[in-house]
Structure 1
Amino acid sequence: MGTRFQYDGEVVTVVELVITQAGNEVVLRHATGRLTARLALRELLVSDRVTLIPDSSGETERVLAEPATVVLSELSEVELQQVRERAAHVREVLTGYRAGSAELAVTGEPRPQYAPHLPPTSRYKAKATELGVGVRTLQRWVADFRQDGDAGLAHKRDRAASRQLGRVDQRWADVALEVMVEHTAESTPSRTMVIDRTNARVVVRFGEGVVKAPSRTTAFRVLEELERRHPTFRLSAKRNRDIADRPDGVYGKLRPTRPGEYVLMDSTRLDVFALAPVTLRWINCELTVAMDWYTRCVTGIRLTPVSTKAVDVASVLFQVFRPRPAGADWPDHAVWPEHGIPRTVLLDVEAVMRPEARRPGASGPAMVPETIVVDHGKVFVSEHLTSVCARLGISIQPARLRTGRDKGPVERFFRTVREDLLQALPGYKGPDVHARGITPENDAFFFLDELEAIIREWVAVVFTDRR
């Protein structure tokens, strides 16, 4: 009772609900104080002649604009599961039961630290310790849950971004996204130019004054939200093109079922300078690796000065068949064990170990590759490598042009080498010219062979041993 409506242009207030045999009716009072005729409750709820007048514009408009069903339906399965799990923790803090009721309690509930007779402060601290969050964070979750239920625990930043787009005409946002997409293959534009082109195109397409253009500040916020759908301003132009070329569906790729079925091979320019052993001058170097797709083990490594040659790629392929010996000072877990073969039966042990080594063993697994996956670099499609593969019975599977995700694991390995190893070495120059120091080449310290030994040991000790 007391809710205000606008009925046929007049402000009325519900003062009484009358239950009759024909159906429920409400008694309305005019804003002047006089009573009006009765109105069917169904007419009040569904008629286009009736408009609800919110008591407080902020709270009521927010609830009406974001029903719980709408908020939850916009979440993915993973996000929805996270919201449900968080709601269960909140209910356990409030009631002692994850389902929120003693009738639906499971075995072991309530747990001692969440017993209903305990003070709320104690339960809040116990739950915050269990989840690894602050008490204030947990209190915000409880407040959001009490106000909006499970929907209140959804990610508020995404909801705020959706509301931001809702404040402008959808036609303006669609045209802005269209202009951003057109700059995919071009140089990175400024946000101001995109806004100006969007305003001009909206006038040409819909007419003058038909679509209201947002203010400059609101337009910048809308572009920030559209940036999530189609990156244009934040990243480099090359990175934005790579993201735009991603397929809409699931990535199609080869699916290895056994070790050696697919071996990925690729080269990259390292982001660190090395020293030439003869001239003692700094030089660029390239890293060529072979990785077994099934086990993600790096089975071949070679570091070359300046650029990679076809013979270097063939050398890496040879390491797949015959791994290099393990280092004498490597820990036990870094030495690759011989699986299922007694050491007395293993032939040609000297070929995979140095005489001064403390233990036998190789730095990686030995396998016979069935297919190598390479890109279209000259060294990988050369006659030398092709003849080697033909003689050994190895198939060559070329990746698609400018599609690095076809060799995703080895591309990710190159990034891991840079972030976990190279940036801690002297002579590190960064991933691009914008991240380079003043004179990183003056800090070059390691010779080429020393840098290769460091990378090889890091792969065996750290990379291969991680989960």
Structure 2
Amino acid sequence: MSSAAVRIGVGTRLVHDGELVEIVEIHAGRTGMDVVLKCTSKQALIRASFNELLTSGATRVIPERDGPTGDDDFEPAGVVLAQLSGDERNEVIDRAAHVREVLTGFRSGSKELALPGEPRSEYRGDVPLSRRYASKARELGAGVRSIERWVQQFQKSGEAGLAPTHDRAGAGPGANVDSRWTETAVEVMVEHADQSRPSQTMVIKRTNARIVARFCEGVVEVPSRATAFRVLAELEKRYPTFRLSTKRNRDIADRPDGLYGKLRPTRPGEYMLMDTTRLDVFAMDPITLRWVQAELTIGMDWYTRCVTGIRLTPVSTKSVDAAAVLYQSYRPRPACKNWPTHAVWPEHGVPRSVLVDVQAVDGTFVGAAGPAIVPETVVIDHGKIYVSEHMTSVCQRLGISIQPARLRTGRDKGPVERFFRTIREDLLQILPGYKGPDIHSRGLDPESEAFFYLDELEAIIREWVAVEYHRRPHDSLVDPHVPGLRMSPAQMFEHGIARAGYIEAPRDPDLAYEFLKAEFRKVQHYGVDLGGRRYNGMSLSPYRNVASPFKGKAKGGWPIHYEPDDVTRAYFRDPETRKWHTLMWEHAPSMEMPLSQDALQFARKLAASKYTYPDDRLAVTDLLERWNLGLGSTLAERRMALRLSREDTLIDQSAALNDVGTLPSVARVMATADPPADEEPDTPDVPDPETGDDDAEDELDDYVSDFYADALEDA
């Protein structure tokens, strides 16, 4: 029997730092055993620590006799036995018992564990070994040579040596095909990573042609068509070319060859992920009553996976929408009144288990939709809405670092990309109007199923995030000290506070106003003129007809901040008190909804083409009348109408959400309530168009069907 041990003492030879040395002395030192090494080539002496000598990777002992080594061409016992099926394992156990009986006379190999009747007469210790081999061969109906081979394998490797050998020579793609053909096929497949998807037949033909051109005719054996298809099927697993989408194939081809690395947050607020995606569900335009595509922008804390900001926008996303998402991290949105208690956070955003809210004890509790987390670093992609000069400057002033992700590398923002998939699979595909992730997954007519308005769809997403996403365990939220424990984002937030001992909270909520766009204007006796609109407020009184200290392009003007999606008000920061004040537009009292800057500009053009002396009041009135009649005929007008359908603005976040929980579809999705089986949903009465006695039926049908027909025509 060989031994894995090696004796080390005086006279033992080693290879140390590439030289052959011999131990000539061993003695006790102050820090342990020391050895003296003698170089055989230089006749020099080296003193070294015995412990360091054994653990150093530059030292190797030269054994005096053969034995097992780590680089032996033999699979470990665990690998060999793990491949066996149940029947094969039982066969190995039975064969090992026969071998032990041949060697010792006992199937267990020990006299203390002898079975009744053991040892049998033909296997007693005084019987020659050759006769025992012959007796076992007759008993099992095998040859004597087979029994001898079993004994040798058992003595060398134990039960693992008796296991049936599995031939691995045929493993791998194209094992029975010339490796040069397989390598050329891989070369052709990789070349199509950035091209359109090829067919397998074309790849085979191109590979065969390249083989002939490179090695000449007949040098490399070309596989048959069926074999070539099998080889490509195996190569497809490593180099996707034929099965997945071309975009997915490019993503796989761009994967790094080395180990995957990632940022590892250690506390809440250390990293915030921001991204925008187009939702796979159609929403209803409240102005034109037609479907529209929506984009979702979110901010997510990487450590806790808590969604701190949500913004749903029609058609496209602006930089102000990205600023609104970041603003919500400073001022969490108020929770809806019909949310369950466990989904509502305290107004300050700190969990109740960490901070006792006195107001909640008194019964005057005001809930928030999520935690208040000020990010230290924002991880974004290279979209223009995230890298605008204004947003980057404000982040610099507030001490927020911006870290762009690598181009076309979605794994740099893996958690937020996974969130988009989760919301599609767990929420959006249940809603009416779901159109699938791609054109191949789309239904026959999903546009006709669009049911929810944009603000209702955003309310549904917010409630799902608060009730479901924040409260269910995630596989990726674990404590390394307790690997089997899965936590929810809310629990991970509490865990992060307990671990870090603090949380980055907003120093001053008014800092969020700095995300708004600013223009310099002189303060006149009537207020300020911004884009042809007049704003006024009591806070402007000390600065009327007073030049500002600003120089250059802004000479004499005062900074006025405004939100492009709601020009009914502007914001002014008093340079003396440093307090923010709201300035109202002179025509705002006649408005019942926010008015965007794009909508006002379009209204002016519309009024100019209709009236000789138009003004803002006339332009807005005419625009609203046009929308109410369903005559929105240009793409710009349609987009502005969609913007006006939003009920929440960047600053006025305290407005209550629409109570959409009573809608049957929402109740079904959120599993909050089911409508009674015998109760039909209420449908609003649609007034019939005014008709006369002389109207024909086809004229009435044309009137109804064409009522909104021209509302979506492009300019």
TM-score for both structures, normalised by structure 2: 0.43
Provide closer, same or farther for how the CA distance between residues 249 and 444 of structure 1 changes in structure 2, counting only shifts above 3 A: same
> Counterparts of 1:239 and 1:345 in 2: how far apart (Å)?
52
Paired residue type of 1:266: D
Q: Is the 8 A contact 2:329 2:372 kept in 1?
A: yes
1:399 aligns with 2:408: no
Structure-2 residue corresponding to 1:201: 210
Structure-2 residue corresponding to 1:321: 330
Greater Rg by CA? 2
The CA deviation at 1:421 is 1.0
> Counterparts of 2:395 and 2:192 in 1: how far apart (Å)?
42
Q: Secondary structure of the equivalent of 1:288?
A: strand
The CA deviation at 1:87 is 7.1
The CA deviation at 1:92 is 9.5
Structure-2 residue corresponding to 1:438: 444
Paired residue type of 2:404: P
> Counterparts of 1:318 and 1:83 in 2: how far apart (Å)?
59
> Counterparts of 2:331 and 2:88 in 1: how far apart (Å)?
57
Q: How does 1:223-242 map to 2 (within 5 A)?
A: 223-242=232-251
Q: Secondary structure of the equivalent of 2:384?
A: coil
Paired residue type of 1:396: I
Provide closer, same or farther for how the CA distance between residues 151 and 227 of structure 1 changes in structure 2, counting only shifts above 3 A: farther
The CA deviation at 1:457 is 1.3
The CA deviation at 1:146 is 11
Provide closer, same or farther for how the CA distance between residues 425 and 182 of structure 1 changes in structure 2, counting only shifts above 3 A: same
Q: How does 1:329-348 map to 2 (within 5 A)?
A: 329-336=338-345, 337-344=351-358
> Counterparts of 1:260 and 1:89 in 2: how far apart (Å)?
56
The CA deviation at 1:416 is 1.0
> Counterparts of 2:280 and 2:439 in 1: how far apart (Å)?
10
Residue in structure 1 matching 2:422, options 409, 416, 425: 416
Q: Secondary structure of the equivalent of 2:372?
A: coil
The CA deviation at 1:290 is 0.4
**Higher normalized helix content (fraction of residues):** 1
Q: Is the 8 A contact 1:311 1:384 kept in 2?
A: no
Paired residue type of 1:430: G
> Counterparts of 1:161 and 1:174 in 2: how far apart (Å)?
17
RMSD: 3.6
Q: How does 1:346-385 map to 2 (within 5 A)?
A: 360-385=366-391
Structure-2 residue corresponding to 1:448: 454
> Counterparts of 1:146 and 1:81 in 2: how far apart (Å)?
9
Provide closer, same or farther for how the CA distance between residues 196 and 94 of structure 1 changes in structure 2, counting only shifts above 3 A: closer
1:457 aligns with 2:498: no
1:257 aligns with 2:232: no
> Counterparts of 2:401 and 2:215 in 1: how far apart (Å)?
57
Provide closer, same or farther for how the CA distance between residues 317 and 72 of structure 1 changes in structure 2, counting only shifts above 3 A: farther
Q: Is the 8 A contact 2:428 2:434 kept in 1?
A: yes
> Counterparts of 1:162 and 1:271 in 2: how far apart (Å)?
42
Provide closer, same or farther for how the CA distance between residues 194 and 316 of structure 1 changes in structure 2, counting only shifts above 3 A: same
> Counterparts of 1:203 and 1:171 in 2: how far apart (Å)?
11
TM-score for both structures, normalised by structure 1: 0.65
> Counterparts of 1:161 and 1:303 in 2: how far apart (Å)?
55
> Counterparts of 1:461 and 1:173 in 2: how far apart (Å)?
53
> Counterparts of 1:151 and 1:321 in 2: how far apart (Å)?
65
Paired residue type of 2:354: G
Paired residue type of 2:242: F
Count of residue pairs the alignment pairs up: 336
Residue in structure 1 matching 2:289, options 280, 297, 302: 280
> Counterparts of 2:402 and 2:80 in 1: how far apart (Å)?
44
The CA deviation at 1:342 is 2.1
CA shift digits 1:341-362 (9 cap, x unpaired): 221279xx99xxxx8xxx6432
Structure-2 residue corresponding to 1:76: none
| Structure 1 segments unaligned to the other structure (5+ residues) | 1-68, 74-79, 96-100, 105-144
Paired residue type of 2:399: G
Structure-1 residue corresponding to 2:565: none
Task: Among all aligned residue pairs of Structure 1 and Structure 2, give the percentage whose two residues are the same amino acid.
Answer: 65
Paired residue type of 2:410: G
Provide closer, same or farther for how the CA distance between residues 146 and 443 of structure 1 changes in structure 2, counting only shifts above 3 A: farther
